[in-house]
Amino acid sequence: MLLNWYDKNGRRLPWRVRGGAHPDPYVILVSELMLQQTTVKTVIPYFQRFMERFPTVQSLAEAPLEEVYFYWQGLGYYTRARSLHATAGIIVSQYGGKFPQTRQEVLKLKGIGSYTVASFLALAFNQPETVVDGNVIRIICRLYNLTEPVDEIAGLIRQKAEALTDRTCPADYASAIMDLGAGICTPKNPQCLLCPWQNFCRARGLENLENIPRRKKSGKKEKTGFVYLIHNNQNEILIRQRTEKGLLSGLYEFPWSEEKLFAEAEDTGLEVSHVFTHIKLTLRICLRQDNDVFDNGRFVPTAELSAYPFSTLMKKVYQKFSAR
């Protein structure tokens, strides 16, 4: 029933094939890591650009990490880029370029947890793995009218999801149930009349349907700080590369801090905000003239900034300043 619906209504995506496993597991690996905490619509252009530059696992393994960051910039969650690059190296050096096909071996790769390993094995090798993401959790909870908090019934949700998993066409089934959650059984305004499982759904027509599943609300912390655009006498601008630990590590940025670094810096009155996973960060843009390099920074011509991988936040900073 679901597979018939998928055959007619499933999304056409650049990393997707129908009728079984994808012929190139590398394509699935890249797409799965990009899709972690990121929407399909956002990922598509990044995926296409990334695959044009790194069409094989070998090409990715041989590339410098900084170049990988460059092609990932703007997508966020840069730990995924490091993990993908590291995994490509492992596949080439330890597996001769061939991907492992067992859960135990795949879990040894970087950036792959319980959800991603199931999705990868189902889509790349057509193995009967049960994929349980946010879409699947919502579908299962509504289908069986499970109104307890998700954290308390995680085992029951997985049990029911496993019972529904198609064992003959697991790759198509994994894609189908994700599409069902993305386009039909949506958080708000679900399209129940178009759902292939509408006759079996115990929550259909209930007033509290949109409140299923029950999740704990987590508020975002708000932080503020100062970001400095520092120019030297040649009108070059100071940038620095973040360390390999912490938020946005490995990317370039303008010096910033939660506390003021320079009391005499010019306050432009401009602010830029960006929302990360659990933090909303607002930076006040300040200007400074200085020829000294500090904190492992370097001065570069402003015309060359586009050659460096910057986070979306830092791009916002420079765009806001340039448009003043």
Sign, Cα dihedral of 78, 84, 87, 88: negative
Residue 246: what pLDDT? 63
| Confidence label for 262 from pLDDT (cuts 50, 70 and 90) | confident
May I ask the CATH class of domain 128-217?
mainly alpha
The whole-number average pLDDT for the span 200-224 is: 88
The residue-averaged pLDDT of 9-20 equals: 96
| Long-range CB contacts for residues 52-57, cutoff 8 Å, separation at least 24 | 54/30, 56/26, 57/26, 57/29, 57/88, 57/91, 57/92, 57/97, 57/99
Q: Average pLDDT of 89-115?
A: 94
284 or 296, which is more confident = 284
The arithmetic mean of pLDDT across residues 137-141, rounded, is 97
**High-pLDDT (> 70) share of the chain, %:** 98
Q: Hey, which residues does 282 pair with through a beta bridge?
A: 224, 273
Res. 247: pLDDT tops 80:
no
Chain-wide mean pLDDT for the chain?
92
Residue that is written with structure tokens 């730990």 in the block = 79
Considering the domain 221-322 in this protein, what is its CATH number? 3.90.79.10
Please determine, looking at this structure, whether the domain spanning 21-125 carries the CATH number 1.10.340.30: yes
- Residue 260: the pLDDT is 85
Question: What Rg value do the Cα atoms of the chain yield, rounded?
Answer: 23
Query: Could you tell me the pLDDT band of residue 244, with boundaries at 50, 70 and 90?
Result: low
pLDDT band per the 50, 70, 90 thresholds, residue 242? confident
| Region(s) of the chain under CATH 1.10.340.30 | 21-125
Q: Which residues pair with 274 in a beta bridge?
A: 281
Give me the catalytic one of 32, 105, 152, 259.
32
Half-sphere exposure (Cβ direction) of 4: Cα atoms closer than 13 Å: 5
pLDDT band at 245; cut points 50, 70, 90: low
Q: What pLDDT, on a 0 to 100 scale, did the predictor assign at position 219?
A: 64
Q: Is the dihedral of CA 182, 188, 193, 199 positive or negative?
A: positive
- According to CATH, where is 1.10.1670.10 located in the chain? 128-217
Residue 32 is among the residues annotated as catalytic for this protein: yes
Banded pLDDT at 250 (limits 50, 70, 90): confident
Residue 226's pLDDT is 94
pLDDT at 169 over 70: yes
**Comma-separated ranges of CATH 3.90.79.10 domains in the chain:** 221-322
- Rounded mean pLDDT of 21-44? 95
Q: pTM of the entire structure?
A: 0.78
